[in-house]
Every structure is written in structure tokens, then in C-alpha cells.
Structure 1
Amino acid sequence: MDDTTICSSDRYALVVYHIQLTNAAFEGRNSVYLLGVGDDDAPTTLVDTGIATPDVESELRDALDARGASFAAVDQVLLTHWHHDHAGLAGAIQADGDATVYIHEADAPMVSQDADAVTAMETKQAAYLDQWGMPDDKQAELNDFLGTHDGLQGQSADVTPLSDGDTVDLGYFEAEVVHLPGHAAGLAAYAFERDGRREAFVGDAVLPKYTPNVGGADVRVKRPLQQYLDSLQRVESLDLDRAWPGHRGPIFAPTERARDIAAHHDDRTERVLDVVRDQGQVTAWSVSAALFGGLRHIHILHGPGEAYAHLDHLVHEGVLREVDDAGPAVRYELA
């Protein structure tokens, strides 16, 4: 656990505690942030919650206790997006102390576990597996993996939806909601300025080492790569001095990191085009095999999802076209 003062002056010091939680199911350890604890002038706030397993819940309870807090003491939870490793424990925290759970309106139905919204996403995801050309045995492997992780979403929470431009009170300052779709439909950062510095809790919009998955991580996102590239430009426009991501440690040059990720996607688009030129006609699955090789666990979903995001982008740019045939798998070729 890394204690960091993010805002200070002669009058006060507001401390954020960086808490890292185990996450063996998806993308490695999660970063959640506690601030305002023990401060009469600020609400006790938790940014993201970690995944809903007994071990992770115990880790988080112990971490809060070590800082003089508890689930019941949390006044508000700011969720960056709906993914289980970020929102899984929100319902349990709220049940202990009636915390207000904030999340962007696009992801609110997923955290409140609205049956229609969850079913619609699952139906769309199942359809995409066929459209991407995923073999039956890999579909079965993916479904087995997802089935063994049932329950990671935790209990539902009564959420308060937010929109782009809304603000949330953090005591000494307000955080602005910045909608950054791509990795998830409702991914949002919480940006603030204090003492001349601009910072933000950014979830998985920008990560310090890996690039966030687009296309497979949330199949509700239309034109996922374009939306994500637009979000990266918006991160640049925020001109942040520091970003607090959903995994690993702080990013001290967020603008440069956003540009690096955009350049990475430019390079990947060229690699996708190379695969199309080599194979003539492709599916998202055949492109993912060429890019990533064999895939296991959640990457069986994320790999072809990422390939689809690039193929879809190239179709909209007029570089590729979909082949008109009767098969369930969508094929692409040069336009």
C-alpha cells in the first residue's frame, strides 16, 4: 500500500491512499484509492473497489482498517467503469454503510445488475463470437472460463448515474466527470485541479504499461476503436500533471502516455492490414491468431475483440469491406 499526498497547502493536506488488490482473474492487481478518511471537511471516498471474491474483500477490509476506515465508514464510491475488477465490491460496501455509489449513466445498468441490460449484453457477446469466426472449441473454452468466474460482479448496488461534465464533491475540491468510452461504454475519469496541478482518477482509460483492450472488453461499444482514439485525444486535452490508473502506479506524463497508446494502435492497424494483404480474406479470429497466437482465458474474448475493433475501423475508413456471404462469420477484404 502506497500513501501519497495528492493535494497540500499551508492550510491542509488531503491524503489519498493507494491500495493494491489481488486480481488473478483478469489483468493483474487492481489499484483503488481511499481519500478523505478521518477528515471532517471531506467525505470518505473510495475510487473503485476491486473484484468480488472473499479473499479480495478481506484484503480491502484490512486495508481500510489499517487507515482508520471500514466499509461502513465509506460515504461514497466513485466507479470508473462497470468491469467486475473495478466495481465488484460496490454493493457490499453500500450494504454495510449506505454509501452513495456513483458511475457514468452508460454503465449504471451493469452495476445495478438490471436484468434486461445484462441479458442484452450477453446476447450481443454470444452473437459476436460467431461473427468473429471463433471456433466452437474456443467458444466452449471461453464459456467455461467465464462460468468458473460467476459471482465476481458481486451483489448489485443502488447507483447514482453521472453524465459527462457533472461534478462530485471531494471536500476540498470537486472532481469533474470526464466520459472516456472505448474500453467500456461508460468509462469515466474523475478530474480535479488544486494548487495549479491537474490530476485525475482514470480507471482503465490509460494504463502505465499495458494498453486497455477495446472491442472485447465491452461489446456494447459501437465503433470501439474510434471511440477510444477520441477518448485518448480527450485525455491529451485535459493536460494532466498526473493520472491515477486502475492498475499499477501513477502516470506522471499522462499526455505522452495517451499519445504512445494512440501510436500503438496506429501500428496495430498497419499489422492488421498486413494480415489482410497476406490472407486475402480474414475474420476477426484469423487476424487475432496472426497478431497474438494462441489465446487462453479472458484473452479468448479480448484478442478477436481487439482485431474486430481494428477491422471495423478500417471498414468505416473505406480501406476494407465486408464480404457479402451467408456464413455467420463476417469476412473482410481490401476495398
Structure 2
Amino acid sequence: MDRITLGNEEFEGRNNAYVLADEETDELALVDTGIATDPVRRDLRDGLADRGYEFADVDDIVLTHFHVDHAGLAGEIQAESDATVYVHEADAPMVAQDPDAIAAVEERRRDRLEEWGVPEDAQSELLEFLESAEIDGPPAEPTPIEDGEILEVGGRTLETIHAPGHAAGLCCFETADGDEAFVGDAVLPVYTPNVGGADVRIERPLEKYVATLRRLADRDYERVWPGHRDPIADPTDRALTILEHHRERTETILELLVDHGPADAWTISAHLFGDLEGIHIVHGPGEAFAHLDHLRHEGVVAFENGEYRLLEDAVSLDDLF
């Protein structure tokens, strides 16, 4: 698979943009574009130039999800090329930078931070980071897609596999032979994708992500192409490993509630991750919340007066994962 490795100092390390080119029809597509910073813009332009292309030659852009490190340059490329930008319908308003959608997310994030018990100084630090990053790029005009939709781009046939959890509209794109897929941040080779803080729009984020991991494991791909770092040669094993990671994290959180008593998501995240800064001020308690919320819906904990209280001392997690 032809990929351009993009620098990324803001989030989870090297991003990937995948180049799909059909020499017979001269069709050119990109899967993800990278973040809208000068170094990444340069990386992508140089990578395309090495292959004999420029932004104006791109016919289609397939976005795995709306996060700026994957979709940031889509609007700029579309402005130069009139490319069609495909993204799941849940994420289309974010890629379009619809003011109402963005305002709703900002309000939801503020509410979540309060609910999670994040201190005012940490909230201010997060807001300063978000306002100073300058990584959004111009908006794109997206074409919404949904689960099961077939795309014909760059001489390839791709099936859309909706894979929410990390983002509401995250999608994987399965190749025609069914052996491989572009998976964005659904499965990563080094990190475990953040759940709960990366997209505050999602209700029951961990439940949705567990279902995504099981769906991907059931498809038993031979190889997948992630949004960050290197290809994953045994994606079924990696998906199951991440699933086990979340089971173990849930066990840890239960132990913390037993040892320390009722706590809010910020306190739990401090036990899990220590001091947080930058984007992790929302990712840390968001991750803790995703697990606590999962336990609450399963009747294991109660949420009262801003804290989660254990209802049962002995809990089996078999039905949760």
C-alpha cells in the first residue's frame, strides 16, 4: 500500500495519508490528509510530488474521521482540486465546520469537564491549548456516507465499515478482496485510541468501541493500514489485545473505588495517568468516564453528587467485554 508518512507533533505521532492511484484512468484518491500545519502540508505536497502529483490532481478524499490530524488538509486540497470529500454522516458537520455543530461540541465539552470534576485551572489550560493550536485548516464540503456504502476511488473499491468509539463517525474502509482495510484510529499499532474524551458527542463510548473491536476482530483481516505509524500484520490479535486492555483498565478502576471510595472521573484519571496537560486534560478524564459510564449502565456503580460509587464488591466483567 502506498502511504505518505506525515509528521505530527500535536497528537499520537506520525500520521499516514494513503495514495490510491489508477494509472489507466488517471484517478487519484487520498485516504486521510494529515493535520493543517506547515510541516505536514509540506510532507504531503512533497510526497505527492515524488509520485508525480500535486494537490490539484486529487479526485477524491476519503476521511476515516473528523479529527484534525486526519482531516485538517481536506478543505485546502478540495479548494485546489474540487475533490469529493467522503466522510461518515455523523462527522460531516465537523468537517464542514458548521458553526452550530462546533458550538454544540464546545458546550458539551464544557458540561462534561464540569461533570468529570476537572478543576478550573486545568479547564483554562485546555481551552488555551485548543485556541492556540491553529491546526483546523479551512472547512471542506463533505459528501456524507454511511455504513455499508461502496466507494469507487483511485481505481479501488472500498466498503465503508462504521467503527464508532474513538469518534462518532469513524469508519474503516475494506478493500474489495476483504483481506485488508484502512482503519484510521479504530485500531492502532502502539497506542490504544482514546475513548470518551476524543469525541464528547458519543453516548456510551466504551460500549460502542467494544462493539467496534469485536466487529473488526470478526472480519479477521490479514493486514490493516492505521492512521498512525506502521501497518498491523495481525489485526485480529491487536483488536483483541486492545479489548483486553480495556477489561484490565476497568478492573483497575473497580479496585480504585474499593480502595479509595467514591470518586469523580478526574480523580480516577489522576490515579490512572498522573498529571495531565494539553489535549490530555480532556482525554484522561474522558477515558476514565468511558469506563465508569460503562459500569454505571451495567448497574455496577452509581453516579451521585458528581461521584461514582461502587454498588457491588464482587463483579464479573464477562458480560461487559
Shorter chain as denominator, the TM-score bin is over 0.9
- The Cα shift of 1:171 comes to 5.4
Q: Which digits, 9 at most, give the CA deviation of each residue in 1:69-99, with x for residues without a partner?
A: 1100011000000000000000000000100
Question: Which of the numbers 247, 263, 268 marks the counterpart of 1:287?
Answer: 268
Counterpart in the other structure of 2:307: 331
Question: Which of the numbers 253, 260, 283 marks the counterpart of 2:234?
Answer: 253
Q: Is the 8 A contact 1:200 1:240 kept in 2?
A: yes
Counterpart in the other structure of 2:144: 161
TM-score (norm: length of structure 2):
0.95
The answer to whether 1:313 aligns with 2:287 is: no
Q: Is the 8 A contact 1:42 1:170 kept in 2?
A: no
The answer to whether 1:62 aligns with 2:46 is: yes
What letter matches 2:19 in structure 1?
A: L
Other structure's SS at 1:156 match: coil
- Distance in 2 between the 1:42 and 1:314 partners? 52
Counterpart in the other structure of 2:71: 87
Give structure 1 stretches of 5+ with no counterpart.
1-15
RMSD of Structure 2 on Structure 1 (CA): 1.1
Matches within 5 A, 1:101-120: 101-120=85-104
Question: Which of the numbers 88, 100, 118 marks the counterpart of 1:134?
Answer: 118
Give structure 2 stretches of 5+ with no counterpart.
312-321
Counterpart in the other structure of 1:267: 248
Counterpart in the other structure of 1:34: 19
TM-score (norm: length of structure 1):
0.91
- Distance in 2 between the 1:282 and 1:289 partners? 11
Matches within 5 A, 1:191-210: 191-194=174-177, 198-210=179-191
What letter matches 1:333 in structure 2?
A: R
Other structure's SS at 2:57 match: coil
- Distance in 2 between the 1:67 and 1:119 partners? 40
What letter matches 2:81 in structure 1?
A: G
- Distance in 1 between the 2:295 and 2:135 partners? 35
- Distance in 2 between the 1:275 and 1:106 partners? 35
Question: CA 1:67 to 1:172, structure 2 compared with 1: closer, same or farther past 3 Å?
Answer: closer
What number of residue pairs does the alignment pair up? 311
- Distance in 1 between the 2:227 and 2:193 partners? 10
Counterpart in the other structure of 1:4: none
- Distance in 1 between the 2:176 and 2:156 partners? 8
- The Cα shift of 1:234 comes to 0.7
Counterpart in the other structure of 2:317: none
- Distance in 1 between the 2:11 and 2:236 partners? 26
- Distance in 1 between the 2:292 and 2:245 partners? 15
- Distance in 2 between the 1:173 and 1:121 partners? 34
- Distance in 2 between the 1:28 and 1:257 partners? 18
- Distance in 2 between the 1:251 and 1:45 partners? 22
- The Cα shift of 1:193 comes to 3.1
- Distance in 1 between the 2:45 and 2:155 partners? 26
Counterpart in the other structure of 2:315: none
Q: Which digits, 9 at most, give the CA deviation of each residue in 1:140-184, with x for residues without a partner?
A: 1111111111x3121010100000000100355411000000000
Other structure's SS at 2:10 match: coil
- The Cα shift of 1:124 comes to 0.1
Q: Which digits, 9 at most, give the CA deviation of each residue in 1:286-328, with x for residues without a partner?
A: 00000111111111110000000000000011110011x3xxx
- Distance in 1 between the 2:236 and 2:2 partners? 24
Question: Which of the numbers 48, 51, 74 marks the counterpart of 2:35?
Answer: 51
